[in-house]
Structures are given as C-alpha cells and as structure tokens.
Chain A
Amino acid sequence: MSNNNLIKGSLQTIILKLLEENDRMYGYEITQKVKELTAGEIKITEGALYPALHKLEADGLLTTEIEQVDNRVRKYYSLTKDGQKEVDNKMAELQGFVENLQRILNPTWNPGLT
C-alpha cells in the first residue's frame, strides 16, 4: 500500500495544520510544502487535494482570497476562526489515532510508562 492511501484520512488535518503555520497558501504550494517537509515521501495528489480544499471552504473552515499573478488569478486559502479552532480538534483526533495504532502494532508500547 502506498503512503497516499494511508494519508487519505488525514488530508484535512494536514491542510489545516499547514495553513495554521503558513497563514495563506495556494493549492500547488500545499502539495510542494508536503513534499518538502517529508523529503518527497508523502505526495498529496491533486485528485484529493482540491476536493478537500473546496470541502473545507464550504464547511466554513477555510476562506479564500483572489490575487492576480502575471496574467492569471491565484486563489489563496487561509483559516477562518472556526478553522483555527478545528485545527486543535483534528490534531488531537489524529494523535489519538496514531497512539491507538501504535498499541495495536506494538502491544508492548505504552507512552504513559516511558
């Protein structure tokens, strides 16, 4: 199974976290940032990225601004107030999931005892 399949369920959390740290980003920039941070190990596919961005925008977690760059329009995404609140929830959810996964994969692992 490729990393892409594993990453699917966490895509929204990744986007929200990146936008929390980078203020505003456009679609292509997000794919490049993820590639850069993971040394190319994780690639966000465009097929998943734009539907996720549009969904987050429709849910009121992201807002957009349009800027003219050369002879084209660039759409920047940034977090709304609700989006900023949601980052912590999503991060806690994901961290909980990773801990549970660790318990399944490595039953001797117990973060509370280390």
Chain B
Amino acid sequence: MKTSKVVRREMRNLTAIELQSIKSAIVRKEISSAEILMEVYDHYVSHLQEFKEVDFDDQLAELEEKFTYGYCHSLQANLQKNLRKDISKSQWLIIKNYFCFSKLIYSLGLLLILFTVSMNLRSEDQYFLMMYVPIILLAVFSIFVLFNWRKRTRIAKSVFAEQKDIIKSYLSEALVLRITLPVLILNGLLQMSKIFLNIHEIPFAFLPQISLVLTIGLMFYGISLFEVWKIKSKTSLI
C-alpha cells in the first residue's frame, strides 16, 4: 500500500463516484452522531482531495484502517459521556453566575416576582398552575431544541441519505434529556410518595411552600439550560 511516498499535489475536487465511495465507506461504520459523522467525512474528503485520482483507492483504504468501526464508535461513546459532563458543568457555572454581583439584581428580581405571585394565590388550582408554568416552558423549550436538531442535522442527513433515520445530534439529545430530567424526577417522587407513604395529594398547608420552591428551582433550571443552549448553538450541531 502506498503511504507517505505518494506524491501530493494541489487540492482537487473529488468526482461524484469518489464522493460516493467515501460515503459508502463511512455508512458501513453505522455512525449515528451527526457531530462525529461530519467530522470523519470532512477528514476523509480533506485528505483525499490532496491526492491524484490514481491514488484514491489506496488512500481511502489507508483511511479505513485508521477510522475503524470500533474507533468511530468509541469516539461516539466518549462524545456522549463528555457532553453530559459538559452540559452539567456549564449549567452549574451559569447558575453560580446568577448569584454573582453583576446578575444578582436580575436573580433577586425574579425571586421577588415569584414570591409576590405566590403570596397572592389562594386556591389549590392556582398553586398547581404556578408549578405548571415552568414545566410548560420546559416542554416548549424541548420542542424548540428538537425542531432545531432536525434543522441542524439536515446537511448530515442529505449527505448520508442512506442512514438518515439513525443520524442525530448527540448534543441536542443530551440537552433534551436534561430538559426532561426534573419532570421525570418530580413524577418519580410523586409516584413513590403514593406507593410508600400513601400520600395521594399534597396537604394544602404545605402547598404554598412546595409550589414556591419547585417553581423557583424549575425557573432557574430552565433559564440556565436555555443559556447553555444559546452558547452551544453557536458552536455545535444543535
């Protein structure tokens, strides 16, 4: 196999057949992360553009030896793991920033509004409505992320049309999971209290405090995640 001894020349445009050969080689790796898929594809094309047509097959085979199925899948797995950590870290930093001097007025203003609203509520329905507002906002946010996810992965799906059903943005997926997490936890807690403590509804005496704490928590959680999305959407496929 020809390796570094192959003479390089100026970049050339690959032919449609060559591009198809690259796509077929990459499709065989069954990569589902749009992030990894596009990075691998760009590497292949950038590399092969530097070689003459006669060297194409040898060079493609050389790349195939480097980007094996296992290697690509380990990249995907690490990306997934790192993204979860990255989102948690970014979100925590943003929440901490809310209580720094520069943003303190904004945070206190939000807390004051929520306190005022909570003090003026009277019925059980109103307290539940207050808790549902951030949950509804989180649901709307997750739909928005999902919509953007489809839009941003359009290029990857158009290039790799054969496997478009499995292509997804791992970052969007991690973010959507994160958005739905508090709802899942709340639901779990409610179910557990029903099963183990036989509590079927929240006593009215505790409802104001519980609804206020949950609303504040969910509001800060949702706003900080939205900020994470804003930062990531500038740099990634979400």
Chain A interfacial positions (CB closer than 8 Å to B): 26-29, 40, 43, 45-47, 50-51, 54-55, 57-58, 60, 63-66, 68-75
Contacts and interface: CB of A to CB of B under 8 A. Distances in A.
B76 to A, nearest CB: 10
A71 B4 contact: no
Contacts of A60: 86, 89
Contacts, number: 67
B20 interface: no
B156 A54 contact: no
Interface of B: 4, 35, 38-39, 41-43, 45-47, 66-67, 71, 74-75, 78-79, 82-83, 85-86, 89, 155-156, 158-159, 234-237
Given A46-B67, A50-B75, A57 B82 contact: yes
Given A45-B66, A58-B85, A71 B75 contact: no
Contacts of B79: 54
Contacts of B71: 47
A26 B85 CA distance: 23
Interface of B is mostly: helix
B75 A51 contact: yes
A15 B133 CA distance: 46
A66 B235 contact: yes
B31 to A, nearest CB: 12
Contacts of B45: 70, 72
Nearest to B152: A66
A41 to B, nearest CB: 11
Contacts of A58: 82-83, 85-86
Contacts of A27: 39, 42-43
Nearest to B153: A73
Contacts of B86: 57-58, 60
Given A58-B86, A64-B235, A66-B237, A72 B38 contact: yes
